[in-house]
Amino acid sequence: MLTPTAEIVDAAARAGRGVGAFNVIQLEHAEALVAGAEAAGAPVVLQISENAVRYHGSLAPLGSAALAVARASATAVAVHLDHATDVSLVHEAVRLGFGSVMYDASTMSYADNVASTSDVVAHCHAHGVYVEAELGAVGGKDGVHAPGARTDPDEARGYVEATGVDALAVAVGTSHAMLTRDAAIDLELIARLHAAVPVPLVLHGSSGVPDADLTRAVAAGMTKINIATQLNKTFTAAVRAYLASNPEVVDTRKYLGAGRAAVAAEVARLLGVLGAR
C-alpha cells in the first residue's frame, strides 16, 4: 500500500530498525523492490533520482508507475524523489503524490544551503511531504565530493534546527557508485550524529558497505539506508547470465524478468541485513 515516508522512516527510527531505500530506473526495478519487500515482510522506499528523471526525460511517467506499484503492494511502500537539485522537480513530485523528497543543496555555501532548503521545507510541509537534505558532502556524487568528507555533529544539529528538515543524509565514509563493498564507515561518528541530531539519519552510498557494517550502522543510529549500485550490479549480472545461456532469445521480457527476479531476491536479503522487518 502507498504509505507516507514519514510513517515508515519515523517508526523505524523509534524502533532502531533500518529502512531499505532502493532506486527505481525502469518499471522492472519498482516491481522487484516491492516483490522483495513483500517476501521479507518489511516496508520499503522506492526512490527516483534526478538523474533517472533526466534519463527518461520527465518525472511523471516513471513516477506515476512507481506510485501505482506502491498502491498495489501488500506491504507499506513509500515513493521518494532522490537527490533533486531542481526546485521545480521537487514541486512536481509533490503534485504527483510522492511521500518525500531529498533536496540536495550540498554544493551551495552553508548559508545558501540553509536558505534554499528552508524554502523547500516550507513548501513541502504545506503539502504534507517529508523532506530529506544533505550536510557534509557524501563522496562520489558526480566526482565532486571527496570520499573523506565527514559531517560535524554540532553543525548537523544546527542545520536541522535552522531548516526544519525531517531526515538528514550525513557523510560518514561512504561514496556513491562504488562497485566494491569495502567502504570503511565511521561507526563512532554515526553514534555521535545520532546523539546530536533530532531526526532520522540517512546513509547514502551504501552499496559500498559490507553487510556486517550495514547492520552495525543501523545499530549505531542510521535509519534510512540508500542502495542503488548493488542492485544494478545484481540486475545486470542476471541479464548477462540469462543471455549467455539463451543466446537465441530476443523477447526482452525473458532477460529483464531474470534481472527483476534477481533484484527481488537481493532486496529481500538486504532488508534482513538492515533489520527492516
**DSSP per-residue letters across the chain:** -B--HHHHHHHHHHHT--EEEEE-SSHHHHHHHHHHHHHHT--EEEEEEHHHHHHHS-SHHHHHHHHHHHHH-SS-EEEEEEEE--HHHHHHHHHHT-SEEEE--TTS-HHHHHHHHHHHHHHHHHTT-EEEEEESPPBTGGGTS-TT----HHHHHHHHHHH--SEEEE-SS-BTT-SSS-----HHHHHHHHHH-SS-EEE-SGGGS-HHHHHHHHHHTEEEEEE-HHHHHHHHHHHHHHHHH-TT---HHHHHHHHHHHHHHHHHHHHHHTT--
Cell readout for 171 is 557523510
**pLDDT over 70 percentage in the chain:** 91
- Residue 186: its pLDDT value, please? 84
State CA 152 to chain mean position distance.
Answer: 22
One-letter amino acid at 159 equals Y
Q: What is each CA distance from 66 to 16, 29, 48, 69, 253, in whole angstroms?
A: 27, 9, 9, 5, 19
- Residue 172: its pLDDT value, please? 86
pLDDT band at 153 (very low <50, low <70, confident <90, very high): very high
Considering the candidates 82, 104, 186, 213, report the single residue annotated as catalytic: 82
- Residue 171: its pLDDT value, please? 86
- Residue 108: its pLDDT value, please? 85
Q: How many residues does the chain have?
A: 277
**Residue ranges of the domains in the chain?**
5-273
What distance in Å separates the CA atoms of residue 199 and residue 114, rounded to the nearest whole number? Answer: 16
Q: What is the DSSP string of 75-129?
A: S-EEEEEEEE--HHHHHHHHHHT-SEEEE--TTS-HHHHHHHHHHHHHHHHHTT-
Cell readout for 273 is 541485513
pLDDT band at 148 (very low <50, low <70, confident <90, very high): low
> Locate cell 518499471: which residue?
27
- Residue 147: its pLDDT value, please? 57
Residue 233 has pLDDT above 50, yes or no: yes
pLDDT, one tens digit per residue, over 21-50 is: 999 999 999 999 999 999 999 999 999 999
Judged by average pLDDT, the poorest of 38-52, 56-70, 180-194 is: 180-194
- Residue 175: its pLDDT value, please? 54
Residue 141 has pLDDT above 60, yes or no: no
- Residue 138: its pLDDT value, please? 47
Q: What is the mean pLDDT of residues 212-228?
A: 94
- Residue 174: its pLDDT value, please? 59
- Do residues 33 and 59 lie in contact, with contact meaning Cβ atoms separated by under 8 Å? no
Q: What is the mean pLDDT of the chain?
A: 91
Higher-pLDDT residue of 86 and 182 is 86
Q: What is the mean pLDDT of residues 239-259?
A: 98
Cell readout for 87 is 526546485
Q: What is the mean pLDDT of residues 205-219?
A: 88
Cell readout for 48 is 527516483
Options 3.20.20.70, 3.40.1190.20, 3.40.309.10, 1.20.930.40; which CATH number does 5-273 get? 3.20.20.70
From 81, 78, 30, 29, select the one nearest 51 (Cα to Cα).
81
Higher-pLDDT residue of 262 and 172 is 262
Q: What is the mean pLDDT of residues 248-276?
A: 97
Task: Indicate the angle between helix axes 229-245 and 27-40, nearest 10 degrees.
Answer: 100
Q: Is 119 a catalytic residue?
A: no
Q: Report the range out of 122-136, 179-193, 252-266 with the highest average pLDDT.
A: 252-266
